[in-house]
Every structure is written in C-alpha cells, then in structure tokens.
Structure 1
C-alpha cells in the first residue's frame, strides 16, 4: 500500500501547474523524490531558479496536492533549485527544438498574429488592444500580448500589471528565456517591465532610435517564452515608423487591425498605417472605429468626434478585390476609460457597458475566423 500511496502522491504533485510556465511540474522535471512513511509524505521538488517569484504558490499547492491523497496527514517538503545543466535542458525543451533567439511566430506557426495599428496617437488603440486580449482569453483562447509601443507603453497599467507604487513586475528569467507576467489569462510583455522608478519620480523614459527599437521588438518575439498561443496581439505604436517596418519584416504574415476615431483628421492618417502594412505583405483584416457616438440617458446621441471615419478608412483600404470591413464601432464610454485607469479591463468589470459589449463582439468575430493551415506543420507524428 505504501508503494501505491507514493505513486498517488507523485501523480498529485506532478499535476501541480507552474504558474509562470503553465505546465505541470512532472512535465518540467521539477519533481525529485517522493516517499511515504505511514501517513507522512516526503516530497522533494526543484524550482527553476533561486528566488523564484512563484515559489510560495508552488510550495503551497504541492503541499495541498500531496495532502489530498487518502491516508496522508502530514507533508514534509524539501525545496531545491535546478542545476545550470538542468535549466539548460529545460529551456531547450521549452523551445521545442528551436535554436535560441529563433522566431517562433514565423509563417509556419499555428499562432495567429494580429497587429493593432493606428495612424495617430490618442485614438484608444492600447485600450482596445488590452480589452480585446482579455476578451479573447475569456473565450478560452491562449493569448499573448506584446506592447510594441516602446516609447508610449501603457499595456501593464491597462491590464493591472502594476504594484501599489505603479511599478510593473519584472519578467522571470530562466537563463536566456523570459517568462511574461500574466493578467486575466493574458501573457504580456512590455518595455515598462524593464524600467525602474528614480527617487520617487516616474518610470524612466525610453529615448531610442531605429536599431534599438528593432532589437527590442525582436527580443520580445524571440526571447520571451509565451508557450503555445492561439493568438498573439501586438499593440503597435501610432504611425508608420521604425517599429511598423520592423514588425513587417519580422512578421510578414501578420493580420492587421486598424483603429481610428470617427474624426476625419484621424481616419485620413489611419489609412496610411494599413497601406504600409500591405507593403510588407501583411493583410488588413478590418477596421475598428473607437470613440463613436454614445447614447445619453435621455435617448439622444453624442457624436463628439463626428461620424463616418471608420467607414472612410475601410473604403480607402478596400481595393484589388480585397474587402475591408468595419468590424466594430465602439462608443464613447466613461466606464471604458475609468476601468483602464483602474487596471481592470471593462470587458470584465462592466461587460454590459456598450463599449465593452462591442469589444466582446469583436473578439467573438475574430475567434470565429478560421486559421488557414495550408503549408503549416502540425504538431503530431504518425505511429
């Protein structure tokens, strides 16, 4: 019975999921010794690194898992750390055979990549992207989010990935792999996670030109371990500058979602971001009109930024037999703004708000679109 109980303890402990790697401990070779002496389970595990930020959670869940086995009333837990060779073997396994710093989201990837762009700043692109990512995750999809707006990063705050002092968490490193923090089921990475506050001041500013911007985006895509994703969203900087060109070179197969406001001054510029994306081979899949007319309590509408901008962008980008539609019209919403300031996406905090409902419908439409598998290797082999 002791051997049978030890097997049950090993199975229970091995099923505990590492909260950062999102894989069971047994699969990560983190379970070392398991023994049972009467009603006492002796468990030994190895964490990936010294000072692992998830250590307390892992230890607690391992104790609970072992104690859940019938006949076990006490758990003696020993926690160690992987050796350099063991960590190296783990990172190789996580990459799935890919070489270090190799792009996992190339044309053969099964992950759908969607770059969310805009022609100018201030149209709510980041708010739309953050809420869209959370809405997709709420539908059960594995979602990653890259904050490619290096100079104007805001994704950590919008997702609530900040501490009481407003500081984003630093990604955990396992050798040359970075593990992205997770919020609301979305794995996110941002340059803001690598900056630190100086003597009670704001987070440091990023003053980089083309080569450094390209290198940063490239590292986000190659050195961050997102695991198997259904969708990878990129919150692009406004305009058609260095990052847009770099993403076009690194991810020529990406789909592009263009965000504009109804105002002509915004829609005229938004068209350009779609045109530049097409020049790199990317496909414009639709337009999102943000800050559209809102319905007031008395039933009247307030079109603060005018009307028709989304349709104007869609019409200008529809050419050569390619029909670009307005996929969502998101009304002005105090809740959407306030929830963003509070770090709680409106699609979760106020799902019945008209703006949140419009983003949820957008997520449903994008999730329903089939992914083309032609020319892509599927992860299975015949027996």
Structure 2
C-alpha cells in the first residue's frame, strides 16, 4: 500500500485543530464546522461551514485549511468547499408560522445612547451581507425605527399568515409607529404592551429570516419581560456610552439579560470618541468604559463606534450611515461589530442544537 493511501481522517482533523476564526476566536473543528472529509488517491475534499453570510475573512480561513491539509504527507490536491449555514437556534419558540433562525435583542440601560441607531445599522449590514433580516421596534414608547428607516406606513395588503411588515433597505420591519400618529403619545399599561409585543412576534408574516433584530426600549421593564416570555432570545447586545452614568445603567441591562436567562452576545460602546479635522481625538464622554465593563462582566466587547454627524443625518433622513457612507470609519466599526455579533449568535445557536440533541439522545 502506498503512503498516499495511509493518510487518515484523524491526521487531517489533527492538522486542522488550530484553525480559528480571526474575529471570534473559536475553533472551526471543535464547533463541527469542518465536515464531509473524503480521501482518495492523494486528493482530500472537505466542506468548511461559515455560520455568517459574507464572512470578511473566509477566504483567509479557507486558505489556511487548504495549506494545513496540503502539508500532510501523501496529499497532492485539496478541494475546500465553503458552505454558508446560519444556525437555527433550537430554543426559539412562539414564532407562529415564521421560520426565524436567530433573534438578537439590542438593549441599553438608559435612553439617548444610540441603541436604535445600532439596531438599525446592525439589521441593514446583515442584509448587505446577504442575510434575510427582520427588524422589530419593541421600543413602543419611542418608536423611531420608521423614521430612521425612511418608511411611514405598513403595506395595505395582508400577508398569507398575518400582518405584512414594511420593508426598506432589504430589511422587513414592524413598529407601533406605523399604527399611531407621529405626535400621539403611547400611554399603555403592562398588559397592553405585552399584547403588542406578542402580536409583533406571532402575527407578523416575517417569512424565513436568518436574523430578527429587536430594538428594545431603554431600561429594564415590561417590554423586556414580555419579549422573553413570548419567544426565546438567542442573545442580547448592550449599548452604552463610555461615561460612568451610562455604564451604571448598562450594567443593569446586562444583569437583566442574565436574570431572564438570555445569553449575552456582547457590549457596544457608542460615541466612543470624536476625531477632529486635524486628526486629534477628543473623548467627549470619557474613554474605554464599555470595554472595561465588558471585561468586568466576563462578556465580549464587540467594539467602539466613533462619533460622526453623518450618523444623525442618516437617522433623520431614513438612510442609515451604513448605506450613505459605506466606507466611513463609523460604518467600518459597525460592520465589524455586526459580523462578530452574528458569529457570537451563531455559536449560541450551535450550542442550543447540541443541547437539544443530547436531550433527545438521553
């Protein structure tokens, strides 16, 4: 028997143990994302699974896999096929006829930190990456998503299985803002709020979604509890400013997720700094608070977002900065935050699948 035929699958697996995601740091082998290895006559074929669409480093990861396998004795050809599979969170419930794979809730302990801006651009960037995305405005007391997405009303027709969501920038969306006059205050008690959130989840014809991004109201109250009782949440993102006042409230939001048994995807520090025309950096709200908070809480710091007047302009005009200025420093930061958040959400979903499988086996 030739040396070529002595090559084993175990050798290939051992060679690929060190292949890790450059953004999220996980092992592709350990997560079961290197699959269907076949060996024959010096040729090795395998599938490499990306858990997010349009991973910015997937070509690099693919090249590393090919290089490590090619270095094995007896290998003269390697074919690596990349598959894109957004994992389905097996814990998701209460979605009616919808097929939602991942639900990401965006929260903050206080208002005015840019939570809705992060939610909108997160959804838009996921759609730009090629994902099927929905955006739910659960901030019923301050429903700004319609304005920020440039849509004023819902479609007239009703969907096959419920309310037809509005759509802009390739993102489906629902908001109480579509159902009230612009200046009308929403004075609701808990039961009414709970009913509205249930309807948004169960009665909207979302269709197939890779991601449903939920913009929660600031604070820790009825809306957060209602959402957690209505549908399982894949993970939560906490948005804060660097300043101490914001951080204290953000910690409450983080602990709220923990009390509701919601995995924490990570912390985003918004308005981290302002870059002046001469290149000087001004820390208007302080520096590094979000990263320190994340480290103290033992969760991932997703990244800082600089200040830029274009963010406000985009929100007011219904054209998010991710669309109007795709190459800006703000959009670059938002894009990396989005990819890492999606990777973290994917890992949570994979874990839920493994736990469900182990329960079935036992």
TM-score of the two chains, using structure 2 as the length reference: 0.68
- Candidates 207, 229, 232, aligned match of 1:249: 229
Equivalent residue for 1:103?
A: 94
Equivalent residue for 2:301?
A: 326
Deviations, residues 245-298 of structure 1 (Å, cap 9, x unaligned): 111222344300000001110011101111111111101110000001122111
Preserved CA contact (<8 Å) 1:249 1:280: no
- Candidates 146, 151, 157, aligned match of 1:172: 157
Equivalent residue for 1:129?
A: 119
Task: Give the alignment of 1:238-277 within 5 angstroms.
Answer: 238-277=218-257
Q: What SS does the corresponding residue of 1:134 show, helix, strand or coil?
A: helix
Size of the aligned set, in residue pairs, is: 260
Equivalent residue for 1:158?
A: 148
Q: What SS does the corresponding residue of 1:262 show, helix, strand or coil?
A: coil
Deviations, residues 34-54 of structure 1 (Å, cap 9, x unaligned): xxxxxxxxxxxxxxxxxxxxx
RMSD value, Cα? 2.2
Tell me whether 1:185 sits opposite 2:170 in the alignment. Answer: yes
Offset of residue 175 of structure 1: 7.3
Tell me whether 1:145 sits opposite 2:141 in the alignment. Answer: no
* Unaligned runs of at least 5 residues, structure 1: 1-101, 163-167, 197-201, 319-323, 378-383
Shift in alpha-carbon separation, 1:175–1:347, aligned structure 2, 3 A: closer
Preserved CA contact (<8 Å) 1:336 1:356: no
Tell me whether 1:346 sits opposite 2:326 in the alignment. Answer: no
Segments of 4+ moved more than 4 angstroms: none
Shift in alpha-carbon separation, 1:236–1:184, aligned structure 2, 3 A: same
Shift in alpha-carbon separation, 1:171–1:267, aligned structure 2, 3 A: farther
Distance in 1 between the 2:223 and 2:236 partners?
14
Deviations, residues 315-336 of structure 1 (Å, cap 9, x unaligned): 3422xxxxx1210200011111
Preserved CA contact (<8 Å) 1:148 1:217: yes
Distance in 2 between the 1:111 and 1:204 partners?
34
Shift in alpha-carbon separation, 1:345–1:216, aligned structure 2, 3 A: same
Offset of residue 105 of structure 1: 7.4
Equivalent residue for 1:337?
A: 312
Preserved CA contact (<8 Å) 2:99 2:208: no
* Unaligned runs of at least 5 residues, structure 2: 1-92, 358-362
Preserved CA contact (<8 Å) 1:147 1:234: yes
Q: What SS does the corresponding residue of 2:302 show, helix, strand or coil?
A: strand
TM-score of the two chains, using structure 1 as the length reference: 0.64
Q: What SS does the corresponding residue of 1:374 show, helix, strand or coil?
A: helix
Select the structure with the greater relative contact order (CA < 8 A; seq sep ≥ 6): 2
Offset of residue 161 of structure 1: 0.9
Task: Give the alignment of 1:1-383 within 5 angstroms.
Answer: 103-104=94-95, 111-162=101-152, 168-169=153-154, 172-174=157-159, 177-196=162-181, 202-318=182-298, 324-369=299-344, 370=346, 371-372=349-350, 373-374=353-354
Q: Which of the pair has more CA radius of gyration?
A: 1
